[in-house]
């Protein structure tokens, strides 16, 4: 049996719909060799009925990598957990935090917090189907179900089935009336609730998620929690991860931004040969030079030129000329 202790969870990058696809993860891995990376949420329906090979494919360089699932049927989740192990993912994670209406209609995501026993059954089925770590990503409450007792009952029911790692997005979710974007900012950020969970369940591992924007935020989170999951900041300002890599993991040989692009070039070339449009890769690298001279022109060239049918690596090289050496 695999042990959840074998994965270094101090730093991870959140699953972000539409963003953390395989191209983005390959790019981020060039900046941070050690952070745990997550797929976008994949629904059990897509894996049970879709083209599994295409959906689950990733680059070997992306390890350590976790597969996040959305679903609420124990049998389907067990099958998908088995697939996660078959495809050599390092972890499989159940989403109990996404507040979108589409997700609610599918009876998964944050609405599952109202059904702790069902989630416990799902986790039990997943754990029996695979030997890789099974984890849960959750909010701290939903709608009027936002008492600390409600949260601890939810955590306790799942922990009783052997799940020992929880990623806590330290906001509650409002399932009626707020968009997913608003649910990331409107409900108050409550790191204190996440800290309290760690104090009250010391035998479990808790990863803090939500509002992590600076290296100081990361250090503050790690002082009280087992790990920190970084979301939008890691996407919009990806080189932020280089400082974290050096400070937290002690990595000395950190690539410069330009070296990251040079290391990405062969991947771009190979992807283009396989029919991947340039824009599918370059959209992820727009923020690499954030705050530096030439960054605006870098973004402009990539945004305007990468969408043209014949766009190739030369677009990236042209954009790079406008970055001060």
Q: Which residues are catalytic?
A: 98
For 107, the domain range is 4-249
Q: Classify residue 325: in a domain, yes or no.
A: no
Q: State the pTM of this model.
A: 0.94
b/e burial code for range 258-291 (CB count within 10 A of at least 16 → b): eebbeebeebbeebbeeeeebbebbbbbbbbbee
The CATH number covering residue 263 comes to 1.20.120
pLDDT of 4 > 70? The answer is no
Per-residue pLDDT tens over the stretch 195-253: 999 999 999 999 999 999 999 999 999 999 999 999 999 999 999 999 999 999 999 99
Q: What is the pLDDT of residue 325?
A: 56
Q: Provide the number of structural domains found in the chain.
A: 2
Residue 201 inside a domain? The answer is yes
Mean pLDDT of 124-151: 97
Task: For residue range 178-204, list pLDDT tens digits in order.
Answer: 787 887 788 889 999 999 999 999 999
Is 107 part of a structural domain of the chain?
A: yes
Residue 48, burial from CB neighbour count under 10 angstroms (0-12, 13-18, 19+): middle
Give residue 2's pLDDT: 39
Q: Which residues does residue 145 pair with via DSSP β-bridges, in sequence order?
A: 142
Residue pair 319/297 in contact (Cβ under 8 Å)? The answer is yes
The domain boundary residue, chosen from 219, 249, 279:
249
DSSP state of 274: T
Residue 177: predicted pLDDT? 74
């Amino acid at each position: 049996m695999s042990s959840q202790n074998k994965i270094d969870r101090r730093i991870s990058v959140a699953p972000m719909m539409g963003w953390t696809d395989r191209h983005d993860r390959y790019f981020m891995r060039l900046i941070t060799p050690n952070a745990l990376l997550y797929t976008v949420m994949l629904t059990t329906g897509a894996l049970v009925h879709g083209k599994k090979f295409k959906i689950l494919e990733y680059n070997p360089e992306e390890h350590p990598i976790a597969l996040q699932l959305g679903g609420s049927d124990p049998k389907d989740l067990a099958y998908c957990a088995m697939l996660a192990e078959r495809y050599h993912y390092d972890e499989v994670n159940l989403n109990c935090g996404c507040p979108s209406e589409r997700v609610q209609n599918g009876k998964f995501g944050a609405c599952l917090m109202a059904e702790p026993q069902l989630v416990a059954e799902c986790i039990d089925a997943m754990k029996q189907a695979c030997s890789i770590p099974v984890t849960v990503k959750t909010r701290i409450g939903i709608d009027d179900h936002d008492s600390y007792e409600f949260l601890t009952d939810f955590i306790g029911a799942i922990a009783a089935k052997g799940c020992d790692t929880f990623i806590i997005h330290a906001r509650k979710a409002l399932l009626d009336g707020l968009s997913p974007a608003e649910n990331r900012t409107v409900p108050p950020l409550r790191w204190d609730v996440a800290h309290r969970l760690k104090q009250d369940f010391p035998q479990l591992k808790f990863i803090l998620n939500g509002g992590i924007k600076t290296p100081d935020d990361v250090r503050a989170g790690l002082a009280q929690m087992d790990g920190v999951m970084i979301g939008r900041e890691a996407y919009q300002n990806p080189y932020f991860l280089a400082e974290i890599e050096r400070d937290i993991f002690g990595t000395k040989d950190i690539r410069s931004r330009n070296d990251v692009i040079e290391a990405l070039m062969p991947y771009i070339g190979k992807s283009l040969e396989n029919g991947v449009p340039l824009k599918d890769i370059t959209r992820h690298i727009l923020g690499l030079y954030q705050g530096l001279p030439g960054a605006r022109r870098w973004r402009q060239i990539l945004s305007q030129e990468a969408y043209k049918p014949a766009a190739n690596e030369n677009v990236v090289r042209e954009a790079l000329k406008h970055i001060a050496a």
